[in-house]
Structure 1
Amino acid sequence: MTSTGPSSVLSMLHGRAALRPDDTAFAFTDYADDPAGRAHTLTWAQLSRQTMAVAREIQAYGTAGDRAVILGPQGLEYILAFLGAMQAGLVAVPLPLPHRGSSHERVSAVFADTTPAVVLTTSAAATDVGDYVDSARLDPAPRILEIDALDLDADSAAGLVATDLPDTAYLQYSSGSTRLPTGVMISHRNLAVNFEQLMRSLFAGQQTTGLTIVSWLPFYHDMGLVLGVCAPILGGFRADLTSPVAFLEQPARWMRALARNERAFSAAPNFAFELAARKTTDAELAGLDLGGVLGIINGAERVDPATLERFADRFAHFNFRDHMLRPSYGLAEATVFVASGTWNESAEVLRFDTDELSAGRVRRRDSGGSALVRYALPASPVVRIVDVDTSSECAPDAVGEIWVCGDNVAAGYWSRTAEEQQCFGATITDPSPGTPAGPWLRTGDLGFVHDGALFIVGRIKDLLIIRGRNHYPEDIEATVQEITRGRVAAIAVPVQLYIGPITITVIGEGGGRVRARWHWCAPGPGSAPALS
């Protein structure tokens, strides 16, 4: 058997299989062919045995440290591919399966970046995956393995070569929507430590016996992978899973899954809470009782306080309480989790003067301004607010970059130059007592500490600078969304790219439109496109 170490997700998997062989580990509900859903399950013993069987097959085509790309639909086979790749000593690379007819540039870029020895998929996706592999023109070409075509019930330990695990467990690739995707190197220790940090912050020593993790998040996403696949194994929790498509088709499916599990815990980005609040009907929710929900993380994107309120109000009739909402902050470079709100307390939202925030200062307001969610400042990982120009700590009530230090922080990006790795390994100039000098992760996020709590302002790269003043796109988006009730995105347009008037159309749910036009300001210092 592969050497796994005392706290790896693999050692925990096999330990749980020995202690609770017949308990259900993962249940996946497939709605693709049956609107009522068809459930597939794996017990701890089956999961352990089939993981070993997949690993044995993988070892025939790759050696320790090689990469294994996972490219298939959401399902139990994806989980087996991920675990089997790590069990074989390879570095797992979870990716999304591109929609048929869409561009697969991202997949090709990751293939070129990782030069995988094997690509793991399913029989249903094998033809498309073969086309992606062929178009990548890799030499040597990786071997394609169809997980559901393997003999998963064979003697799993026979022929499996024992090997030490590489430092990197898996590569978490960015979305790559505006640039080439980058793979964050997550180690087994990063994963185990971040799980402990998450549990301490979210549950604060509370009893988690009988907890079920409910998730539709994609397994290739950092929050979906950690919450939906790794956390159930590390914590010994049952997982009730489905696909993102199933949720998007009927958001009520998420609510029903939460209700049917007595002690349910879940997570989703802000947009999902908005969708669930707006796109569920009382008929779909009839008879549901959400009173047993332990909590739902709102993370992976900016948390909108108005969305929290709408979600809590929408489901209050079904015994959902606002203290069950857990706004959280994190990023893939820190594995996934950094900070959250306080256990069993309603999310606290404070208002701050927008103009002062734009100038890097903090001033409370009783009404208006920017509404920001309060996060408890964690003891682990360590979080500091740092001046981006001097690398020195900011005083409380001063806006700076959020830096993170801890064993959950990844070693860096896969196959990137030192210049491209500058967000890792930073040091603080003249650190205060109790503050480590480094290494620190520069998150690229702006925030501040107020009354001992952390507040997130926005991304440094997303700032809109007009006539020398900073404007946070999240504030613009929140304001317009309150007026239009539609989805909104505020973006920066570099002056060099300005070629003429741009018409911006906001389409509300009722079909109404609000038009705005960019115009060019008179030449001179501080000139920039401005709304008219």
Structure 2
Amino acid sequence: MDRTLAPSALSPTRLPRPQLPYPTTLVEALLLRSSGPDAARPVFTALDAEGRRLERLNAVELLGRVRATAAALGAVGSAGDRVVVPALPGTDFAVAFLACLYAGRIAVPVPPPRPATRRRTTDGADRLGAIRRNCAPVASLVASAADAVGGEEGAGLAWIPVARAPGHPDLLPDPAALDPRAVALLQYTSGSTSRPRGVVVGQDNLMANQLAVRDRCDVDSGTTVVSWLPFFHDMGLCTGVVLPLVSGAAAVTMEPATFVRDPLVWLRAIEAEEDVFAAAPDFAYELCVRRIGSAVRRRVDLSTWRVAVNGSEPVRAGTLRAFADAFRPSFFRPEVFSPGYGLAECTLGVTLGRPLYEAPVRRYDRDALARGAAVPAVSPDTAVELVGCGPPLPGVRIEVVDPATRRALPDGAVGEIWVDAPGNGRGYWGRDAESARTFGARPTGPSGGGPYVRTGDLGCLDGGELFVTGRLKDVLVVHGENYFPQDVEAVAGAAHEAFAHQRAAAWPLEEEGPGVAVVVETAERDPEVLARAVRAAGLAVARALPAPVSVFAVARHQVPRTTSGKTRRRDCADDVRAGRLPLLAQWSSRPARSAGPSERSPSA
């Protein structure tokens, strides 16, 4: 379905409002906001677990706390040194992040600190250790002095509390804070296919990327951004902190745990505002459908939700339909959805659907996609639904490239997505060779241009829209043709009600010839039901893909994920092979062992 202008887009009820001048750095945006006519208007409002206001800062109050914290940072290290910024609660993260920039330090957003009893026993601890070894920070900001970490773990860092009150009103920003060429932050990738790497994001990259989102979505001083996204991820940082400052908008935020515990708190916060921009990954919309009952939906008014970005993970057409249908009684309109595509290497956004235009859903032939061509399907049995993730943001150029020949491909051909954009980062911190491969790509042939970021994602351009098909490293190669794991996972999940709306992971079986393994989470515990479920899923996948199939059922929350919720398929495969993943049921079309030491002949 092509994009058509929705009737609501013609409504004259929302008039353009004046926007802030184009600042060149985020600190400049803060200074403009604090000295302008909206200085006393709230910038950041933090909600508690029940959705009640926890604290609120206007631009003047925000600048005062930023200056006080920056003064403390000024006593440690020098401009360009790295400072760890954990995802602190309330408004503390915004203050801490901006204080780093104000002091000329390079911010390093990381997950929130964990209790001392858990620090050494989690994947998060390993990740934080890898980040510290990579960028050698000189300090870490904390909510209070009591949160400083002692002993060997805290050695080598100055632990600086975030200022609770304004201070140092005469403190000028470090020259780097007003220099677009200066480095603003290291954004560590979530590591779905590799160890975390620190993307070097300049002040100019950060501003260009979010100004493009501002302009695409008409975010202005009358808009409120409502977010629960983790601040240490690119989407949470840009949505909850950067976009409000560069656009003049206000932000209302809550902890991610609040949303997971009760998604209704997020929707109630949206309901309370007049013109709302809110973004979330696909699973969040699906969670709202599952967790919020029909009686409650009828008592929620989402008519002021103007932009609902769906990104950060594959956007599923079924999720868009389910949410729009479920919340139609709440006055949610399907054209409010703006699917998008982005990655940390490009700061965040690359493409984004135009607000109030219905997102296109195309049904492509599965076998043709495997051969690298996006051809409309003639039968529902062979169709793969893909959602258009919008056209490129202003200033962004996309090429779909054959990863082997580096030649640009025409519209409708599937290849690796390459991006040339002002938001492209400058490389990976301390990884020169890898930076050159990823950030310095240039296609061969007449298209030229660049340098481009090689995203590692596969997709195609069709009618100006980007359609993402999968990850290059996750592709399942069967008899010389490429199949995408999320399509296999979707087929397995739809095969039996025990697997409906559950996380899955698919990967190739390579030990004994071509084949595919699929792990699906489930809440079911009845052995007979599980036996039928894995058999149904195996047969469904076998019909869609010409290869031997093994299916495993596991308990919920067992499939490994990154800190941003992306499936870690390689780690899942390793866990099954090593017998580390407790299996509830299994089925295989192969009589021999194929995916792990615990796999047996078909059990149903």
State the TM-score, normalizing by the size of structure 2: 0.78
**Residue 63 of structure 2 corresponds to residue 45 of structure 1:** no
Of 514-523 and 210-219, deviating more is 514-523
CA distance in 1, matches of 2:249, 2:182: 26
The Cα offsets for residues 240-267 of structure 1, whole Å up to 9 and x where unpaired, read as 1101000000011111111111111100
- 1:202-221 to 2 correspondence within 5 Å? 202-203=217-218, 208-221=220-233
Judged with a 3 Å threshold, the aligned counterparts in structure 2 of structure 1 residues 334 and 286 are, in CA distance, closer, same or farther, namely same
Letter in 2 for 1:135: E
1:350 CA displacement: 0.7
1:285 CA displacement: 4.2
Show the counterpart of 1:17: 34
1:155 CA displacement: 2.9
Of 317-326 and 504-513, deviating more is 504-513
Report the secondary structure of 2:490's partner residue.
helix
Show the counterpart of 1:351: 363
CA distance in 1, matches of 2:251, 2:518: 46
- 1:108-187 to 2 correspondence within 5 Å? 108-123=129-144, 126-127=147-148, 129-130=149-150, 134-135=152-153, 141-147=156-162, 150=163, 152-158=165-171, 162-165=174-177, 167-176=182-191, 179-187=194-202
Letter in 2 for 1:155: H
**Residue 48 of structure 2 corresponds to residue 30 of structure 1:** yes
The Cα offsets for residues 319-343 of structure 1, whole Å up to 9 and x where unpaired, read as 0000011111111111100112233
- 1:318-337 to 2 correspondence within 5 Å? 318-337=330-349
- 1:96-111 to 2 correspondence within 5 Å? 96-100=111-115, 101=118, 102-103=121-122, 104-111=125-132
**Residue 382 of structure 2 corresponds to residue 389 of structure 1:** no
Which of 356, 360, 367 lines up with 2:372 in the alignment? 360
- 1:501-520 to 2 correspondence within 5 Å? 504=519, 506-507=521-522, 512-513=529-530, 514-515=533-534, 516=551, 517-518=587-588
Which of 255, 279, 298 lines up with 2:291 in the alignment? 279
CA distance in 2, matches of 1:208, 1:323: 20
Show the counterpart of 2:353: 341
8 A contact 2:225–2:244 mirrored in 1 = yes
Which of 230, 234, 254 lines up with 1:242 in the alignment? 254
The Cα offsets for residues 433-466 of structure 1, whole Å up to 9 and x where unpaired, read as xxx5210111111111223332111110111123
8 A contact 2:220–2:248 mirrored in 1 = no
Letter in 2 for 1:156: P
Show the counterpart of 1:469: 481
Query: % of aligned pairs identical?
Result: 34
- 1:445-464 to 2 correspondence within 5 Å? 445-464=457-476
Of 231-240 and 273-282, deviating more is 273-282
8 A contact 1:486–1:507 mirrored in 2 = no
Letter in 1 for 2:444: T
Report the secondary structure of 2:506's partner residue.
coil
**CA-based RMSD:** 2.8
CA distance in 2, matches of 1:448, 1:501: 24
Judged with a 3 Å threshold, the aligned counterparts in structure 2 of structure 1 residues 489 and 334 are, in CA distance, closer, same or farther, namely same
CA distance in 1, matches of 2:269, 2:251: 11
8 A contact 1:123–1:146 mirrored in 2 = yes
Judged with a 3 Å threshold, the aligned counterparts in structure 2 of structure 1 residues 314 and 486 are, in CA distance, closer, same or farther, namely same
CA distance in 1, matches of 2:333, 2:477: 39
Report the secondary structure of 2:349's partner residue.
coil
Of 62-71 and 487-496, deviating more is 487-496
1:36 CA displacement: 5.5
CA distance in 1, matches of 2:231, 2:293: 28
8 A contact 1:252–1:285 mirrored in 2 = no
Judged with a 3 Å threshold, the aligned counterparts in structure 2 of structure 1 residues 6 and 208 are, in CA distance, closer, same or farther, namely closer
CA distance in 1, matches of 2:338, 2:525: 31
Judged with a 3 Å threshold, the aligned counterparts in structure 2 of structure 1 residues 470 and 461 are, in CA distance, closer, same or farther, namely same
Which of 51, 54, 66 lines up with 2:81 in the alignment? 66
1:59 CA displacement: 0.6
CA distance in 2, matches of 1:480, 1:357: 19
Report the secondary structure of 1:370's partner residue.
strand
1:67 CA displacement: 0.3
1:45 CA displacement: 0.4
The Cα offsets for residues 123-152 of structure 1, whole Å up to 9 and x where unpaired, read as 28715x446xx3375xxx1100121xx363
Judged with a 3 Å threshold, the aligned counterparts in structure 2 of structure 1 residues 530 and 426 are, in CA distance, closer, same or farther, namely farther
1:508 CA displacement: 5.1
CA distance in 2, matches of 1:356, 1:501: 19
1:157 CA displacement: 2.5
CA distance in 2, matches of 1:173, 1:362: 33
Show the counterpart of 1:261: 273
The Cα offsets for residues 387-417 of structure 1, whole Å up to 9 and x where unpaired, read as 1111111122211111110211111111113
Of 191-200 and 117-126, deviating more is 117-126
Letter in 2 for 1:305: A
1:288 CA displacement: 2.1
Judged with a 3 Å threshold, the aligned counterparts in structure 2 of structure 1 residues 109 and 287 are, in CA distance, closer, same or farther, namely same
1:79 CA displacement: 1.0
CA distance in 1, matches of 2:262, 2:502: 18
Show the counterpart of 1:227: 239
8 A contact 1:130–1:144 mirrored in 2 = no
Judged with a 3 Å threshold, the aligned counterparts in structure 2 of structure 1 residues 304 and 99 are, in CA distance, closer, same or farther, namely farther
Letter in 2 for 1:121: V
8 A contact 1:270–1:307 mirrored in 2 = yes
Show the counterpart of 2:16: none
1:367 CA displacement: 4.7
CA distance in 2, matches of 1:371, 1:510: 31
Judged with a 3 Å threshold, the aligned counterparts in structure 2 of structure 1 residues 357 and 286 are, in CA distance, closer, same or farther, namely closer
Show the counterpart of 2:395: 380
CA distance in 1, matches of 2:352, 2:422: 18
Consecutive unaligned residues of structure 2, counting only runs of 5 or more, are 1-21, 535-550, 552-586, 594-598
1:521 CA displacement: 8.3
Judged with a 3 Å threshold, the aligned counterparts in structure 2 of structure 1 residues 9 and 30 are, in CA distance, closer, same or farther, namely same
1:469 CA displacement: 2.9
CA distance in 1, matches of 2:434, 2:352: 31
1:430 CA displacement: 2.0
1:156 CA displacement: 3.2
- 1:416-427 to 2 correspondence within 5 Å? 416-419=431-434, 421-427=436-442
Judged with a 3 Å threshold, the aligned counterparts in structure 2 of structure 1 residues 421 and 491 are, in CA distance, closer, same or farther, namely farther
The Cα offsets for residues 191-221 of structure 1, whole Å up to 9 and x where unpaired, read as 1111122233334xxx744110000001001
Consecutive unaligned residues of structure 1, counting only runs of 5 or more, are 524-528
8 A contact 1:50–1:156 mirrored in 2 = no
Show the counterpart of 2:313: 301
Judged with a 3 Å threshold, the aligned counterparts in structure 2 of structure 1 residues 48 and 443 are, in CA distance, closer, same or farther, namely same
CA distance in 1, matches of 2:518, 2:62: 54
Show the counterpart of 1:526: none
Show the counterpart of 1:371: 385
